[in-house]
Amino acid sequence: MKIIHFHKAESYEPEKDWKRVSLCNEKDISMEHFVKPPQHASPRHAHPNAQVLVVLKGKLAIQTDKDGEQVLAEGDAAYIPGDEPHVVKNVLDVPSIGIDIFVPGRSFDFWLKRQQS
């Protein structure tokens, strides 16, 4: 077993006030807690990992070419297949909070590496 204490976990801000905390960073699965600032949208992106996004607080919209924009409220979850381009946006004027689960695990520095390329 491996325990990750939230207040000691690795974290960073890919953009101002967009906070990400690594809750699990293993080869077969990874999980990230995130706080998305008001009206913030991630850049359109894709990754080979399948993703499950769970909304803990607030409302998030996920946009894909196939499904258009779908809005998720607290407690809702979305499955995004690997390699599917998508955007995740906080539709509220207050921060929204969620969990991202990736299978297989995604490198926690995904957004830092993406900014460098």
Question: pLDDT tens track of the chain, all 117 residues?
Answer: 999 999 999 999 999 999 999 999 999 999 999 999 999 999 999 999 999 999 999 999 999 999 999 999 999 999 999 999 999 999 999 999 999 999 999 999 999 887 665
In a domain? residue 64: yes
Its pTM stands at: 0.94
How many domains does the chain divide into?
1
Residues listed for the chain: 117
In a domain? residue 95: yes
In a domain? residue 104: yes
In a domain? residue 1: no
User: How would you classify the pairing of strands 77-80 and 96-103?
Assistant: unpaired
- Host domain of residue 11: 6-116
In a domain? residue 10: yes
Read off the CATH number of the domain in which 86 is found.
2.60.120.10
Give the HSE-up count for residue 66: Cα atoms under 13 Å, Cβ half-sphere: 6
Cα gap 105→50, rounded to integer Å: 9
Cα gap 8→21, rounded to integer Å: 9
